[in-house]
A and B are shown apart, each in its own frame.
Chain A
Amino acid sequence: MTLEHCDLLIVGAGPAGMAAAVAAAPSGASIVVIDDNPAPGGQIWRDGPGATLPPAARKWRDALERHANIRVRSGTRVVAAPSRNQLLLEDAERGWRLQWNRLILCTGARELLLPFPGWTLPGVTGAGGLQALIKAGLPVEGERVVIAGSGPLLLAAAATARAAGAKVVRIAEQASFAAVAGFAASLPRWPGKAVQAITLADAQYRTSSRIVSVQGATQVESVRLRQGGREVEIESDRVACGFGLVPNTQLGRMLGCALTPEGIGAQALAVDARQATSLADIYAAGECTGFGGSERALAQGTIAGHAAVGNEGAAKQHERERARWNAFAAQLGRSFALAPAIRQMPQPDTVVCRCEDVPFSALADCSGWTDAKLHRRCGMGACQGRVCGDAAQFLFGWTPPAPRPPLSPARIATLAGLAGPVDVDRQ
């Protein structure tokens, strides 16, 4: 098995990872950026036949290409950390080890996907999930789409679906009108966001609304929603649900990076003013340090990139910008906090673990995540608890322990690389 070396390894090619690489590049360091998607850009700047890349995304992509000392490896996953400064990687063709001197984690966030009756029916996706699928060419022309959950991502998903020819028949936001209005009123502090909000305004938008169930024989046929005090049923071909974002801390936790203190919502990777984690030589930037959008990710990534190559002065120059977007993130978190009623969505027979088909009733008497895993097989499937683990944390307050390798399903030939590069080469 091949062993490659680099000065700086960046995991994730979203806004944070791109900005980190571009900030670090003038130092001359050898930089590798890995990402599991087919092209750089992350979720927000996902390319494809159904996507229109904004000029900002093009600018950052071009900047990545301009630097000869940046190598981007798309379609690549992290499998394990065989030793302190090495990661075991896999792409479609091969597995290899990569040794780094400095590491920046830009692993992003994933959607909080919560169980409700019918959420496993084909045609139900995440809200950001639907956006991603459409950008990658999913045809939705003429489909009736209901979007439900919480946060500005619902409006963004609606805009993407409509641009692709879908008929968005309802956007159900669980937060109250007062909360959403308060958020809108705060937007002039971030003028770019205010303009964005106006362009996304939608006549089908309803507040204090949440999903009750999705009906259908083999696919989505209708959606039942609770809107304020009453229930409505809407015919629909597709349902997209997202309840906010969860920082993707898996790799950081596996490496031993400390998390932010437990509070409301999901924990993130803890970082200092230089975006350094609790471990020497490992930095983190973007949504894995807490969600807050692409502008915050770019500022954090730039600071991390400069700091990782020892350019503390340049890093400092971006602190004000970061503070501005941190304030936006805090406002976002306050305005779209999930109501306790969201915890009541699953019925006893609602599947919680989609990989192992474990129903809610099987988990109700479990003492915690490990008990649910060992005795009910919850989280034992291919997604390794990424979906049901987040859901269980929200529904029951269970905190999953730090993940163990392999971090993602991998081929045997790749796993053999754990034995050491020399041992494997001898075979």
Chain B
Amino acid sequence: MSGETLLHIDGQLVRVKAGSSVAAALRVAGGVGVARTSVTGQPRAPFCGMGVCQECRVFIDGRRRLACQTVCAEGMRVETSE
């Protein structure tokens, strides 16, 4: 894996190492990588890192997916959720 991938997170252009997960890209985009807002309005970021906790669910190209289990692809559009 070499090179870089460019994707959009909430409209912002983000550059990551090729092969990075969307969870990593959330952090690269700035802050601590918040993925969603909880039902009482708290910010939540990737937690289990392995597809169990669902805290990193975001919209990727219009579909709700887990950021920790999705590899960044060129031109991907990611929207943080709720």
Q: Is the CB of A235 closer than 8 A to any CB of chain B? A: no
Q: Note all chain B residues with C-beta closer than 8 A to A331.
A: none
Q: Check B49 against A48 for contact (C-beta < 8 Å).
A: no
Q: Note all chain B residues with C-beta closer than 8 A to A49.
A: 1, 17-20
**Distance between Cα atoms of A120 and B41 in the complex (Å):** 12
Contact digits for A18-39, partner B, Cβ 8 Å, 1 yes 0 no: 0000000000000000001110
Contact digits for A325-369, partner B, Cβ 8 Å, 1 yes 0 no: 000000000000000000000000000001111000000000000
**Distance between Cα atoms of A354 and B39 in the complex (Å):** 9
Chain B nearest CB, measured from A161 CB (Å): 12
Q: Check B68 against A132 for contact (C-beta < 8 Å).
A: yes
- Partner pick for B49 among A75, A130, A139, CB 8 A cutoff: A130
Q: Check B34 against A137 for contact (C-beta < 8 Å).
A: no
The A/B interface has a contact count, at CB < 8 Å, of 129
Q: Note all chain A residues with C-beta closer than 8 A to B68.
A: 132-133, 136
- Partner pick for B47 among A50, A113, A136, A357, CB 8 A cutoff: A113
Q: Check B43 against A387 for contact (C-beta < 8 Å).
A: no
- Partner pick for A139 among B27, B40, B44, B65, CB 8 A cutoff: B27
In the complex with contacts A354-B53, A409-B64, A126-B48 CB distance below 8 A = yes
Q: Note all chain B residues with C-beta closer than 8 A to A120.
A: 38, 42, 44
Contacting A at CB under 8 A, from B20-65, are 20-21, 23-25, 27-28, 31-34, 38-40, 42-55, 57, 63-65
**Distance between Cα atoms of A138 and B47 in the complex (Å):** 12
Chain B nearest CB, measured from A415 CB (Å): 14
**Distance between Cα atoms of A38 and B22 in the complex (Å):** 12
Q: Is the CB of A110 closer than 8 A to any CB of chain B? A: yes
Q: Note all chain A residues with C-beta closer than 8 A to B54.
A: 355, 381-383, 409
Chain A nearest CB, measured from B2 CB (Å): 9
Chain B nearest CB, measured from A330 CB (Å): 25
Q: Note all chain B residues with C-beta closer than 8 A to A38.
A: 21, 69-71
Q: Is the CB of B9 closer than 8 A to any CB of chain A? A: no
Mostly, the B contact residues are loop
Chain B nearest CB, measured from A52 CB (Å): 12
Q: Is the CB of A125 closer than 8 A to any CB of chain B? A: yes
Q: Is the CB of B16 closer than 8 A to any CB of chain A? A: yes
Q: Note all chain B residues with C-beta closer than 8 A to A37.
A: 50-51, 69
Q: Note all chain A residues with C-beta closer than 8 A to B49.
A: 125-126, 128-133, 136
Contacting B at CB under 8 A, from A47-66, are 47-50
Q: Note all chain B residues with C-beta closer than 8 A to A427.
A: none
Report, as a range, how many residues of chain A touch the other chain.
35 or more
Contacting B at CB under 8 A, from A381-426, are 381-383, 386-387, 409, 411
- Partner pick for B55 among A110, A131, A354, CB 8 A cutoff: A354
Q: Check A122 against B34 for contact (C-beta < 8 Å).
A: yes
Q: Note all chain A residues with C-beta closer than 8 A to B43.
A: 122, 218
Chain A nearest CB, measured from B59 CB (Å): 13
Q: Is the CB of A225 closer than 8 A to any CB of chain B? A: no
- Partner pick for A125 among B21, B38, B46, B71, CB 8 A cutoff: B46
Q: Check A354 against B44 for contact (C-beta < 8 Å).
A: yes
A-B contact pairs, 21 of them (CB 8 A): A38-B70, A48-B1, A111-B48, A122-B43, A122-B44, A123-B45, A124-B47, A125-B46, A125-B48, A128-B50, A129-B46, A129-B49, A136-B20, A137-B17, A138-B33, A139-B27, A355-B54, A357-B39, A386-B53, A387-B47, A411-B63
Show the binding face of B for A, using Cβ within 8 Å: 1, 16-21, 23-25, 27-28, 31-34, 38-40, 42-55, 57, 63-65, 68-71
Task: Give the 3 A-B CB pairs with smallest separation, nearest first.
Answer: A137-B20, A129-B49, A132-B49
